[in-house]
Homo-oligomer: A and B are copies of this chain.
Amino acid sequence: MENYPPPLDSVFHALADPTRRAVVQRLGQGPATVSDLAKPFPMGLPAFLKHLGVLESAGLIDTQKAGRTRTCTLQQARLAQAGSWFDDQRALWASRYDNLDTLLSALGGHGHDH
Chain A residues in the interface with B (C-beta under 8 A): 1-2, 4, 6, 8-13, 15-19, 21-22, 24-25, 28-30, 40-41, 76, 79-80, 82-83, 85-90, 92-93, 96
Residues of B within 8 A of A16 (CB): 8-13, 16
Q: A21–B13 Cα gap in the complex (Å)? A: 13
- SS class of chain A's interface: helix, strand, loop or mixed? helix
> Which of B21, B28, B80, B89 is within 8 Å of A24, CB to CB?
B89
Indicate if the CB atoms of B30 and A18 lie closer than 8 Å: no
Q: How far is the CA of A10 from the CA of B17 in the complex (A)?
A: 9
Is the CB–CB distance between A21 and B8 below 8 Å?
yes
A45 to B16, CA, bound (A): 26
Q: Which residue of B lies closest to A90 (CB)?
A: B83
Known contacts A25-B92, A29-B92, A83-B89; 9 further A-B pairs (Cβ under 8 A): A6-B18, A8-B15, A13-B16, A24-B89, A30-B96, A76-B93, A79-B86, A80-B86, A80-B90
